[in-house]
Amino acid sequence: MKIGTTHLFVPGPTTVPEVVRRAMNIPMEDHRAPDLPDLVLDLLADLRRVFRLREGRVLLYPGSGTGAWEAAITNCLDRGDRVLMARHGHFSHLWVEMARRLGLDVVCHDVAWGEGVPVETFEQALRADPSIKAVFVTHNETATGVTSDVRAVRRAMDAAGSDALLCVDGVSSIGSLDFRQDDWGVDVAVAGSQKGFMLPAGLAMLGVSEKALAAAERTTTERSYFAFREMIAANEVGYFPYTPPMPLLHGLRASLDRLFEEGMDDVVARHHRLGEGVRQGVKAWGLELCATSPRWYSDTVTAVRLPGGVDGALVCKIAYHRYRTSFGGGLGQVAGKVFRIGHLGDVNEVSCLGALAAAEMALLDAGVPVEAGSGVAAAQAYYRQALLAEEEAAGSGPWASAGSRTRLAAVR
C-alpha cells in the first residue's frame, strides 16, 4: 500500500505545481467558444517569451514531444534531405531513428554517451558537405544528463557557411535551462509540456523561426495532423484545427504565469543551484556522473554511474517500492549502468535533499557502499551558502530581521 507522498525525481514528467493543478481542474469547455481566442492568443504570444523568440511562431499540438520531433521533420524537410545529427544518448538515438524512418538521409556522428554534441566535428562535416539541409541538436540529452552547446553549433554552422536549418530538441531544457531561440539562431525548437512547463504530457510544442516557416511552405512531404499550415491558419484567429486538450491550455496559462513570476533568469539560476547541489551530493558519495566533464553537466537531470556489478534497475526498484521515490533508470546503452535524478520544474532545495536521502538508502540497500547522509550534507552546505548569497544580493529578503541577518552573516 502506498503511504504518503510519492517523491517524484524522474526527469519528466515533472511535479505539477499546485497552482497549475488547480488551473487544469476545469469543467469542460467549448473549444470553439467565441471568447476562446482571449486565452489562446495570449498563450501563443507568451510562449515566445519562454522560447525567447521574437519573430516566428510557437505552435502547440495535442501530442507528446516525440510528435513535435516529427512535426519538425515533416514540415521543414523533404524526404531524402540530408541532415547532420549526433548520437550520444537514448533520446538523440531515437531522433536519429525517427529521421531515418521518415525518409531523411541522416549523417550520424556517434559520440560517447556522456559527452555532448561534437561542435568541431559538425563544423568540419558542414564544410565538407554543403548539401546538408539541417543540423539536429539534442540540447539536453535526458538519458545521460548532458547539456550541449547550441550557441556553439550555430557559430560552427556560420563559420562553415552553412545555411542549413538548426533544429533543437529542447524537451528537457526549454523552460528550465538557458535557451535563446533568436540569439542562438535556432530554426526549430522542440519542447513538451511535461518538463520545464510542469504540466502533464499532452502538448507538443515547437518554436519555429521565420526561416523554418518559409521552408515549410516549400517542402512537399505528406503531412496532415502535424502540418504547420492548418495550425497557423487556425491559430491566427485564436483557435485550433481540431479539439485541443482544454485543461492543458488552462494549465499552460498558470504555468507561464508561474514562470514569469519567478522570472526566466531566476528559473535558470534556480535549476543551476538545485543541480549543483545534487552533483555535490553525488561527489560526496564517491560516485561518477555519466556526464564526463563539467562542460556537459545538465542542470535538469543528473545521471549517476553505478559501480560494477550493481544493477541500476534494482536501485530504482528499491527506491520506488521501499522508499516511495521515483528515479529514472538507465536507457539504451547505459541501461542498468546508471540511475537518474531529475531536478527540474517545480522543485526546491528540501525536495532535492529528500531525493538524495532516498538515493542513499536505495544505494546502500543495493550494495553500494556510500556513506549515509554524506550526499545530503554536501548538498546542504552548498544550498545554505547559495541561498544566503542570494538573499544577501537581494537585500536579505522581506522576512529577515536584524537578528537573523547577523546570524546569516555568522553562518559563513
Site pattern 37..76 for a copy of itself (x: CB under 8 A)? ------------------------xxxxxxx-xx------
Residues 114, 279: Cα–Cα separation, whole Å: 15
Q: 149 vs 365, which CB is nearer to a copy of itself?
A: 365
Q: 101 vs 127, which CB is nearer to a copy of itself?
A: 101
Q: 293 vs 385, which CB is nearer to a copy of itself?
A: 385
Q: Are strands 165-169 and 132-138 parallel, antiparallel or unpaired?
A: parallel
Q: Is 402 in the site for a copy of itself (CB under 8 A)?
A: no
> Can you list the pairs that 330-337 forms with residues at least 24 positions away whose Cβ atoms lie under 8 Å?
330/143, 330/303, 331/90, 331/143, 332/89, 332/90, 332/93, 332/113, 332/143, 333/90, 333/113, 334/90, 334/113, 334/143, 334/144, 334/290, 334/303, 336/311, 336/312, 337/305, 337/306, 337/312
Q: Is 275 in the site for a copy of itself (CB under 8 A)?
A: no
Taking residue 144's Cβ as centre, other Cβ atoms within 10 Å add up to 34
Site pattern 90..109 for a copy of itself (x: CB under 8 A)? --------x--xxx------
Give me the least distance between CB of 197 and a copy of itself, in Å please. Answer: 12
CB 171 within 8 A of CB 47: no
For 136, phi then psi, to 5°, come to -110, 130
Segment 344 to 383, residues that bind a copy of itself, using CB under 8 A? 346-351, 353-354, 357-358, 360-361, 364-367, 371-374, 376-378, 380-381, 383
Size of the site for a copy of itself (CB under 8 A): 118
Segment 214 to 253, residues that bind a copy of itself, using CB under 8 A? 222-227, 241-248
Give me the least distance between CB of 340 and a copy of itself, in Å please. Answer: 11
Give me the least distance between CB of 164 and a copy of itself, in Å please. Answer: 21
Q: Is 194 in the site for a copy of itself (CB under 8 A)?
A: yes
Residues 105, 326: Cα–Cα separation, whole Å: 38
Residues 94, 5: Cα–Cα separation, whole Å: 33
Q: In what side-by-side order are the strands of the sheet with 82-87? A: 57-63, 202-208, 188-192, 165-169, 132-138, 82-87, 105-110
Segment 116 to 175, residues that bind a copy of itself, using CB under 8 A? none
Interface residue with a copy of itself among 109, 155, 272, 324 (CB under 8 A) is 324
Of 38-46, 209-217, 289-297, 309-317, the window that binds a copy of itself (rule: CB under 8 A) is 309-317
Q: Is 6 in the site for a copy of itself (CB under 8 A)?
A: yes
